[in-house]
Amino acid sequence: MATRLEVLRMLAELAKLTALDEGSPQAFRVRAYENALHGIEGYQGELTGLSKKELTEIKGVGGSTADKILEFMSTGSVAKLVALREKYPPAFVELTKIPGLGPKTLKVVRAELGVEDIEGLRTAIAAEQLRDLPGLGKTSEEKIGKAIERLGLHGKDRRTPLVEALPLARSLAARIATVEGVDAAMPGGSIRRFSDTVGDIDIVVATTDPTAVSEFVVGLPEAVEMIGSGGTKTSFLTREGMQVDVRTVEPGQLGSALLYFTGSKSHNIALRQRAIDRGWLLSEYGLFEDGKLIAAETEDDIYKALEMESVPPPLREGTGEVEAASAGTLPQLIELSQIKGDLHYHSDRSGDGRSTLEEMIEAAMARGYEYVAFTDHGEDLSINGSSREVMLEHRDRIRDLQKKYPDIRLFFGCELNIGPDGDLDYDADFRLEFDYCVASIHSHFDLSQDRQTARILGALHDPAVNAIGHLSGRYVGRRPGVELDIDVILEGLEVTGVALEINGALDRLDATSEVARRAMARGVDFVIDTDSHHTSDLIRMGYGVTYAQRGWVTTERVVNAKPLKDFLEWVTRRR
Ligand code: DGT
Ligand code: CA
Ligand code: CA
Ligand code: ZN
């Protein structure tokens, strides 16, 4: 039986491969699959058992797409998709991740130069063959070459964005947890540390029956190619070429195994050294003194025995956390339960927003928030933005809804678009009509570092701006962020009191944890946001918080962890 998530994945793959086939992401068929995908995301009911007619009643789902969903539900696959996969193998699809290489260009590159994968593309670039193709040129060729290097897309160092790995890791762990004899199954490795890209998926399983787990893993639909199985480790490759390592341990060793396989390697080395200093031995099987077990069952037991605070996984990078935990000076990290509101929040007033104001308010209340700032797009974002008149009507709607929902404070806000020269939507006076503004870049990603830096500084100095949204504009593994002089930006944030956003969308995770940690050192404030465009996006707050922890961000520095009264004081400080 296909789950909703599987249907969504199937439609996403159909859309992607069809775009390649048609040579355009705007093709009618591609849009049909995408519309269906969005419709089903927003559809609350059960999909199983729906008739074709009922399926087409879901917003965005057309007849031909409904047929494919039915085919998928009853047979577990879709003939059309199978054919497309034949034609576009994973190594070729990988090429779509390179900025500047759209479906149309890819078609030409394949037909004219026989390029089938990244290596082939690199060879063609080295031979300066791309520049002579229609629609390309020397500049595009160089840009594509640079993007391949910056994204680390070549050969074995290829890494997978967390946004792709995390749902798969969680789903695999949940299924393995149902196997007879299994006590617990959890993702470890860089996924558990919430690294924005991962080399592979590691799953640690505590079980009394390792053979049953190994057999189950071999039979998983995702295991299209086995790398090895038997004993305590089973590894396979997914269709997308991602490696999954499943390791089994005895239930009493879950703590030591999780600790070991969560890493990072340098965190482990520092812990092991601390054990050695005490004449002990630390391994994935436990902490031992002359062969006698001291601790193994939980990670906390081991940290405690080593006379240190427990280190949260996002901090385990070997960058000072072991020293801090030993001295008892780990930071008071922000936690999800402390978040009081969301400050980057779209309704269907934005062209790309998909839930109504009421739906978004009720979703925020369901999470127990005290306040929320609607930040629909400003007028400069042509399709998605709103004119002054429309924004003022929108404000009236929000003020009316405030009466209907007295238990949550509603802020009339805006996501201002930062233009290439640091210019913002509307004019200075109109911008101050908003209760709250987040300013972010949405275009011109290729300007020089100097211009990008000046651009952000320009936005910072506007008194209506309260936060800078998704600072670099990156999409993890797909689009590199803009080049910025981070020290200059952080100084600007510190001086103006504008907050740095940590955007919890898994494909963004922006500002990066490295930048966040530097911002912590300078006294910059943070907001952790979901950039929700639909009620289902609110779960991103958990991602944003975990990612912020990777940047050592503390509660006291997070603006949206403040109670309403203090938050109001913070907002008005600048306006
Ligand atoms: P990745 O997969 O490259 O994103 O990063 P990790 O950290 O998930 O690395 P991975 O999958 O090679 O190994 C998972 C964990 O296992 C790693 O974080 C620490 C532990 N580990 C692996 N190899 C070694 C090793 O040679 N020494 C030590 N101390 N730990 C290791
Ligand atoms: Ca790993
Ligand atoms: Ca691994
Ligand atoms: Zn936004």
Whether 439 contacts 424, CB under 8 Å = yes
CB atoms under 10 Å from CB of 483, counted, come to 16
Atom of ligand 1 nearest to the CA of 159: 4
Q: Nearest Cα to 2, choosing from 62, 81, 60?
A: 81
Secondary structure element (H or E) that encloses residue 518, with its range: helix 513-522
- Looking at ligand 1, which residue's alpha carbon is closest to its atom 16? 261
DSSP label of 101: -
Residues 542 and 397: their CA atoms lie apart, in Å, by: 29
pTM, to two decimals: 0.82
Q: What is the pLDDT of residue 43?
A: 86
Closest ligand, as measured to the CA of 256? 1
Q: What is the pLDDT of residue 44?
A: 81
Q: What is the pLDDT of residue 225?
A: 85
Residues 276 and 280: their CA atoms lie apart, in Å, by: 5
Identity of the residue numbered 479: R
Q: What is the pLDDT of residue 231?
A: 85
DSSP string, 155-214: GGG--EEHHHHHHHHHHHHHHHTTSTTEEEEEE-HHHHTT-SEESSEEEEEEES-HHHHH
Closest ligand, as measured to the CA of 317? 1
Whether 551 contacts 524, CB under 8 Å = no
- Looking at ligand 1, which residue's alpha carbon is closest to its atom 15? 261
Ligand 1 geometric centre to CA of 188 (Å): 9
Closest ligand, as measured to the CA of 236? 3
Provide φ and ψ at 412, rounded to 5°. Answer: -90, 110
Q: What is the pLDDT of residue 336?
A: 98
Ligand 3 geometric centre to CA of 261 (Å): 8
Ligand 1 geometric centre to CA of 243 (Å): 13
- Label residue 368 exposed, middle or buried (CB < 10 Å: 0-12, 13-18, 19+): exposed
Q: What is the pLDDT of residue 152?
A: 66
- Looking at ligand 1, which residue's alpha carbon is closest to its atom 20? 261
- Looking at ligand 1, which residue's alpha carbon is closest to its atom 10? 189
Ligand 1 geometric centre to CA of 432 (Å): 50
Ligand 2 geometric centre to CA of 259 (Å): 13
Q: Is the dihedral of CA 536, 541, 546, 550 positive or negative?
A: positive
Q: What is the pLDDT of residue 574?
A: 87
DSSP label of 469: -
Whether 286 contacts 305, CB under 8 Å = no
Q: What is the pLDDT of residue 157?
A: 64
- Looking at ligand 1, which residue's alpha carbon is closest to its atom 24? 265
- Looking at ligand 1, which residue's alpha carbon is closest to its atom 18? 263
Ligand 3 geometric centre to CA of 202 (Å): 5
pLDDT digits (tens, 9 = 90+) for 339-369: 999 999 999 999 999 999 999 999 999 999 9
Ligand 2 geometric centre to CA of 264 (Å): 9
Ligand 1 geometric centre to CA of 264 (Å): 6
Ligand 1 geometric centre to CA of 202 (Å): 9
- Looking at ligand 1, which residue's alpha carbon is closest to its atom 30? 265
Count the residues in the chain.
575
Low-confidence ranges of the chain (pLDDT < 70): 1-2, 152-157
Residues 286 and 284: their CA atoms lie apart, in Å, by: 6
Q: What is the pLDDT of residue 544?
A: 98
Q: What is the pLDDT of residue 155?
A: 54
Ligand 4 geometric centre to CA of 439 (Å): 9
CB atoms under 10 Å from CB of 399, counted, come to 11
Strands (E), 82-181: 160-161
Residues 312 and 375: their CA atoms lie apart, in Å, by: 32
Atom of ligand 1 nearest to the CA of 272: 29
pLDDT digits (tens, 9 = 90+) for 115-166: 999 889 999 999 999 999 888 899 999 988 888 877 766 555 678 999 999 9
Task: Name residues contacting ligand 1 (CB within 6 A).
Answer: 189-190, 195, 198-200, 202, 260-261, 263-265, 268-269
Domains and CATH numbers, the chain: 4-151 (1.10.150.110), 159-249 (3.30.460.10), 253-330 (3.30.210.10), 336-574 (3.20.20.140)
Please give the structure tokens belonging to residue 201.
Answer: 């998926």
Atom of ligand 1 nearest to the CA of 200: 2
**Ligand 2 ion: nearby residues, β-carbon < 5 Å:** 189-190, 200, 202
Mutation test residue for ligand 1: of 268, 274, 283, the one with most atoms within 8 Å of CB? 268
Q: What is the pLDDT of residue 246?
A: 98
Mutation test residue for ligand 1: of 162, 166, 191, 202, the one with most atoms within 8 Å of CB? 202
